[in-house]
Structure 1
């Protein structure tokens, strides 16, 4: 990271006085917008060269090459072309982008920040002349022009305007949360057409195999019980002892973006989140307040005949790291007072077991091993075993009102519940649509034929 970025220069810079400062500002903005998380393929991919496969309910969407390459990237883009792609989701060739690229949030980015981002991508990123894989979604989603209607319904394309009734700090936080960092893209629920339901902004949303929880200041459903210092620490590190640990997409956001933001910007995000409308989505107590240390694991060692199935998995695969009583260590988190085990939705607990937890913060690698299909053979657990150990953990340390079935584990492993729009691609629905179209064509043909016969008879 450049010296300018390390000092937080770009976090508050207005119009830059030199090309170098403009590029540095753009680099900071690109980090705040988390561009690299999607456009840089993990495990050694060249910066911003694309190729990362983003799993969506509609299929895999490959991030494009956004280096200044003239043959594979955006080297031929004018600033106007760049702004249109970022804000409206339409590339230089006039093709509509899929909203896996969060242009509905980026539409709020100001003109001056678009200018800085363009300067950075054109002059601060190395050109890579390798084209990213093409995205091929099933019919009817492969018809990109259909996104024009979706955009009309769900993308307002209005740049951010500061509110006079709140402080500059809160306005800055609003801009970061809802524009650059696009927190709303994940944490806001979506309707049947996968558009954001902004009437319940930031109250939680499904991410397929993961769930982005309620981050409104509601005391039980959201993070209203967190202090400002708690929230700032979590955003910066992805770890808050006795409350939460970042995993999945949130771990990526912390690793690639949030940990690199200035303290002033983190505090602005906290200030904004603390004053938004609280949304209660149910629940009798906060998800990080459930559970306590337990001696159940030790007790069952002496009576294995009557031990529940999940105990055997926990004792063999979990207790060594999280401790037999569930209190964890300085490295591995406690299983009680943990938002993943206390939530009324078990998705994140199951996904953590299936996919592991991986994040690198301040040079420290945080890892929980994978126990799903990608695990080493000796560590691989079946869907039934993952359901059993999840239920043991929920009953012993977390929210006892929640339970998990093997079918739920399979669904989460396969990408989570499909929204209504995505169900259009299932064979049964496609056959049904084809049948309706065919029937309509037959009826239309009969109607036209009868009309012609009547016209002939009149003559």
Structure 2
């Protein structure tokens, strides 16, 4: 998982999205403990997607054991152990210390957390929910008495104290219940803004990598993937119904409209699909009334498909070949040939997908019809995996078989034939997304800022020496 940074003199990360929701057996210290807050805490942990970062590197590991590596432009963040292990986890945390870590980003030992853990959103958690979460993690999660590696970022991002200044600027006021709004809207806002921390991915960042609240939920790049505009504008979800949003949140798929990939697919697989129908409905109702923010033309995937002349694979030169070794020929950059060799067996030569839309249409698809081709590129690079109750989606990744020029070629063929023909992908963009997306301005500027700091320090030292000598004379 690759997450964007957001530190003042360091880093802040969006949480993106997720791993296995825990169903761990209760440990022995759960005896004679009230089960109700534990069960509520388990539900809240799923809604908050706590296992997104705090998972082990191996899928077979214990939930919340930590050790998962989160790549960022600043360096690798190692997810911590948040099981009730007294030696390696949070077993010695009091509830007050647990609350402070969740809502202020400060560990029990007083050290600042990096906002890879989205405490800026969790600051709005109610005391009742914090108590339920504490009960669950202390009595409903199995302790894992194994250490995880320490996060070691390069200077100056290793200075956790810098987070105090960043928090002063960007740790906003907590969520409060609005008595003038309905219970449905209040619950939806709480799920979207606090537990689900949707804005961590869907809101763009400012120069210091804090969330730009003027463009709340208007879309942002997250580790190469594009978290789209989910405001009520037509360039966002303005043309979606509440029922379609609920279906998407539960399954990641709305026929002839959209399919979830990347971090959103993980969030659905390991978090959102476990939420109640009532909670998903509340989220959808809230999102539908978010003030619109236009980021481009309206996205309309209901239009009739353009007439595309069918192409027989037998007429292609070289002939259709599904062998990955054949596709790895870096000299082959004909988009049509690559499409028919790598994509047409599922999405069909005419781009219509299968009749049951298990393999979706590339024509009625927000990934190809919008004003941003990043998710199309990332789907080819990394594939798509999404497991829900009824089925598993597993589009293969072609990042190892196809080079950047080839991925650009097949993306442009898809866009010109089935999607938005005004978009054009170049190999440089593919390279950038393959490396995790655009580098934040703060990271680009850091060498210059450090150099300026050294020059300023030398100037101050020189000035002090000059004043001392002058005084002596």
Normalization by structure 1: what TM-score? 0.88
1:135-186 C-alpha deviation (Å, 9 max, x unpaired): 122211110110111111111252x321122110110000000011111111
Whole-Å separation in 2 of the counterparts to 1:350 and 1:216? 23
Partner of 2:408: 387
Matches within 5 A, 1:2-401: 19-41=34-56, 42-158=58-174, 160-219=175-234, 221-283=235-297, 285-286=298-299, 288-289=301-302, 292=305, 294-296=307-309, 298=311, 302=315, 304=317, 309-329=334-354, 330=356, 331-373=358-400, 380-401=401-422
Extract unaligned runs of 5+ from structure 2.
Answer: 1-21, 24-32, 319-331
Asked whether the equivalents of residues 302 and 364 of structure 2 are also in contact (C-alpha less than 8 Å), the reply is yes
- Tell me the CA shift for residue 408 of structure 1: 0.8
Change (3 A) 1:445 1:362: closer
- Tell me the CA shift for residue 363 of structure 1: 4.6
Whole-Å separation in 1 of the counterparts to 2:458 and 2:75? 33
- Tell me the CA shift for residue 59 of structure 1: 2.2
Residues matched between the structures, number: 427
Asked whether the equivalents of residues 316 and 337 of structure 2 are also in contact (C-alpha less than 8 Å), the reply is no
Asked whether the equivalents of residues 88 and 157 of structure 1 are also in contact (C-alpha less than 8 Å), the reply is no
- Tell me the CA shift for residue 36 of structure 1: 1.6
Change (3 A) 1:439 1:83: closer
- Tell me the CA shift for residue 208 of structure 1: 2.0
Change (3 A) 1:394 1:167: same
Whole-Å separation in 1 of the counterparts to 2:227 and 2:455? 42
- Tell me the CA shift for residue 338 of structure 1: 0.6
Extract unaligned runs of 5+ from structure 1.
Answer: 7-17, 374-379
Select the structure that is richer in helix.
1
Change (3 A) 1:438 1:50: closer
Normalization by structure 2: what TM-score? 0.86
Whole-Å separation in 2 of the counterparts to 1:232 and 1:277? 19
1:283-322 C-alpha deviation (Å, 9 max, x unpaired): 2x316357726534517864759x9811111010000010
- Tell me the CA shift for residue 209 of structure 1: 1.3
Whole-Å separation in 2 of the counterparts to 1:170 and 1:436? 48
Asked whether the equivalents of residues 75 and 122 of structure 1 are also in contact (C-alpha less than 8 Å), the reply is yes
Whole-Å separation in 1 of the counterparts to 2:197 and 2:451? 41
Asked whether the equivalents of residues 91 and 97 of structure 1 are also in contact (C-alpha less than 8 Å), the reply is yes
Asked whether the equivalents of residues 350 and 386 of structure 1 are also in contact (C-alpha less than 8 Å), the reply is yes
Whole-Å separation in 2 of the counterparts to 1:456 and 1:423? 44
1:310-353 C-alpha deviation (Å, 9 max, x unpaired): 11110100000100000112211110121111121211111111
Asked whether the equivalents of residues 297 and 311 of structure 1 are also in contact (C-alpha less than 8 Å), the reply is no
C-alpha RMSD of matched pairs (Å): 2.2
1:183-239 C-alpha deviation (Å, 9 max, x unpaired): 1111111111110011211111110211100001112x1101011111110001000
- Tell me the CA shift for residue 434 of structure 1: 5.1
